[in-house]
Every structure is written in structure tokens, then in C-alpha cells.
Structure 1
Amino acid sequence: MTAIRIFLLTFVVVLAGAFGWIAYQWSSSNEALLEKPYGVAFDLVDQHGDRFTDKELHSQPTALFFGFTHCPEICPTTLFELDGWLKQVDPDGDEIQSYFVTIDPERDPPEILDSYVSNVSKRIIGVSGDPEKVRDMARGFKVYFKKVPTDEDNPDENYTMDHTASVFLLDKDGRFRGTISFGEDGDTAVKKLQNLISG
């Protein structure tokens, strides 16, 4: 019995040490995430055809959303709600910037994005570009996206996109500060944006 107790005690101590190490690593990685700009360097274009790089995210607090213009519900709803929240927290439009990055650049060139986004908001800027560069940027921001064919006979043209449905919140230095989930309470979303502005 004594040997079993010693074994169990040793096992518990080792297990506690392992959990402690995991917690330390998790805490360290989270601190690192908060101390450097989120995502990766990129070189794309906005809805007006102007160059858009990661430097744009290092000047003001930013609300960043990934979606596509053929999206039936999540994207138009998020754009509409985000526009309303921005008007509440920053009516003059000079404290926070917002971008809608397509994850379907083949069907969303700048001119299509311009028409789509402008119909909903004057505050949110659409972003597109070379398809592979867009995909690299999305992956670098840990965004999930996947093409889902809706027509087996013509999957390259008839498809939808599964994708991350959260708005990413970045501070003025481009560091990750949280998300607004799809369907999140409006008052909570507004508070998050207010906190982002106040720093």
C-alpha cells in the first residue's frame, strides 16, 4: 500500500508540474500575442484600387472583418450592424477605422467590393487583391475559410464560402484586442469598440 501511495503522490506531483508548465506556456504565448502586431505583412488593394498594406492597421484602432459579397446572411448583417456601432462610438469617423476583406477575391475585385460595401456603409472599406496574396493574408490572421461547391457540375463557379464570422479588434499598433462574434449583443459590441478607442 505504501508503494502505491508513493506512486500516486509522485504521479500527482508530476501531473501538477505538467499543468503548471502548460499554463505558463499558454500565458507566455498570449502575452506575446498582445505585445506585437497581429497577423502578417500583406500588400493588397482597397475597393478604390489603391494600395493597401499592413501598415494601414498600425495607425488607428481597427475593426477588421473577413467575408465575401455572395454571402447570404452573415456578411451583410455584420456590415450593417458594424456600420451602426461605428456611428454610435465614433460619429465623426476619425477615431476608429474598419475594413471588410474578401476571402473570395476571384469574384470580388475592387469594383465589385466598392459597389457592395458602399451600399451598406461609408465607414467600412473593402479590401481585395491577388487571390493568393489575399489567402496568405487571411491565413496569417488565423481566419478559417473554405470553398464549398453548390453545383457538382460546375464547382468553380457555383460555390459558397465557409469562413470565420467574427470582427477582429486591433489597437492603434495593430495588436489583437479581442473579437465581436456574429450575433453578439449590440450593447456589448458597442462597449468593446468604446474600450478599443479608449485604449
Structure 2
Amino acid sequence: MRTAIWAGAAAAAICGVIGVTLWKVYPGAPSDAFAECAGGASGASIGGPFELVNASGETVTDKDVITEPALIYFGYTFCPDVCPLDTVRNAEAVDILAERGYAVTPVFISIDPARDTPEAVGDFAGNISEKMVGLTGSPEQVDAASKAYRTYYKAHTEDDPDYYLVDHSTFTYLTLPETGFAGFFKRELTGEQLADRVQCFLDAG
């Protein structure tokens, strides 16, 4: 339990550091049609093409996955608390948006390719939402996707080769099929708050 608490605290701290970094690297963002939407930063160089593996073991690209607005989250299936809470929140926001007439896909990208097989990410995503897409890949594929979205992760395999924890950033990224990355959201938001903010982007777009 103590390990899980420290893992959650570490993830939250990393989230804050990376949030500050984003705004320092991209001063003044956002400055476009999404400027009125909290979390908007489409002027930032975040997101882009990726090639990963889906739950069926098929290699897919961002074009295959992001066919409608997508909420993308980087985590891992062995995560003791943060990832399940965040992905459930994202799925809840997607359901709320669906009730309002907006179609959004929740996406889970593993940053633990050593343990997260296609079957593992498929089971994880399916247990949260039938609409959630679970993705993994080779270490190189995962690293490339992480770098595209400017995320951070570090596996502590030295602690335990089988049951290690992974430090990682905890933002959720809104990506649109036509224009790419639109904004990011912190984990403190509730499902309804996240839905409200995503709707702002969809209405503005």
C-alpha cells in the first residue's frame, strides 16, 4: 500500500513538473481558435505520427486509431492506482460527451512494452470501456510515441524485475483527426469537467 501511495505521489509530482515545462517551452500558447478552451495548447509542437500494436496484434498508425476526436493517455496495466483512475475518468467523459451528441474515442497507450502485451492492453482497455483502444508496441515504437507527445516515463526494474513500478506523466491529450493535437488536461478534473472542456474544443473546431 505504501508503495502504491508513493507511486501516485510521484506521478502527480511529475505531472506538475511537466505541465510547467510545457508552458515554459511554448510561451503564449494557445493562440488560435482553441484559445478560449482551458487546456488548449495547439500552438505547441506536441503529437504527431505513431506506429503501435493494437489488442489484436496488428500494427496500426495514428491514422488508423484517430478517426474521430481522441483522448489519449499514456500509462501501464500494472499501474496500482493512477492509471485505472485516470482512464476510468476519461471513459466517463467520453460517455457524457456521447449523451451530448459528440463522438470521442478513449485511447490507452502503454509505456511498459516489456510486460504489456497486446492481450494485456486489450483486456485493460476492454474492462474500462468497450470503446477504449488499447495500444502497445516494441520499446522503440512506444518510445517514439511518447516522445511525439512529450511524455515522461521511467521503469524501476532495478527494484523488482517482475513487479516494478513505472514513473510517468499523467496528462490526457485531445487529438483531432484533421488538425492533430488540440490540448491536454490534468488528472484533477472530474469526468464531467473533462467532458465540458473537450466539448469546448469540439465546438470551437
TM-score (norm 1): 0.74
**SS of 2:166's equivalent?**
strand
Q: Percent identity of the aligned residues?
A: 26
Task: Measure how far apart 1:109 and its partner are.
Answer: 0.8
Match of 1:63 among 61, 64, 71: 71
8 Å CA contact 1:37, 1:173 repeated in 2: no
Paired with 2:42 and 2:196, the residues of 1 have a C-alpha distance of 20
Match of 2:126 among 118, 124, 134: 118
Task: Measure how far apart 1:54 and its partner are.
Answer: 2.1
Residue-by-residue CA offset, 1:32-89 (whole Å, 9 max, x unaligned):
9736984232221111223221223653211100000000111111121111111111
The structure that is helix-richer by fraction is 1
Question: What does 1:170-185 correspond to in 2, within 5 Å?
Answer: 170-185=175-190
Paired with 1:130 and 1:110, the residues of 2 have a C-alpha distance of 11
AA in 1 matched with 2:78: H
Q: Which residue of 2 aligns with 1:169?
A: 174
8 Å CA contact 2:50, 2:145 repeated in 1: yes
Task: Measure how far apart 1:137 and its partner are.
Answer: 1.2
Q: Which residue of 2 aligns with 1:192?
A: 197
Higher Cα radius of gyration: 1
Question: What does 1:1-199 correspond to in 2, within 5 Å?
Answer: 26-27=27-28, 34=42, 38-56=46-64, 59-91=67-99, 95-149=103-157, 151=159, 155-198=160-203, 199=205
Could you tell which deviates more after superposition, 35-44 or 113-122?
35-44
**SS of 1:87's equivalent?**
helix
8 Å CA contact 2:70, 2:104 repeated in 1: yes
**SS of 1:63's equivalent?**
strand
AA in 2 matched with 1:70: F
- Give unpaired runs (5+ residues) of structure 1: 1-22
Q: Which residue of 2 aligns with 1:13?
A: none
Paired with 2:105 and 2:179, the residues of 1 have a C-alpha distance of 12
* Two-structure CA RMSD over aligned residues (Å): 2.8
TM-score (norm 2): 0.72
8 Å CA contact 1:68, 1:75 repeated in 2: yes
AA in 1 matched with 2:118: P
Paired with 1:108 and 1:174, the residues of 2 have a C-alpha distance of 30
AA in 2 matched with 1:90: A
- Give unpaired runs (5+ residues) of structure 2: 1-23, 33-40
Given the superposition, is the C-alpha separation of residues 120 and 59 from structure 1 closer, same or farther in structure 2, using an over 3 Å criterion?
Answer: closer
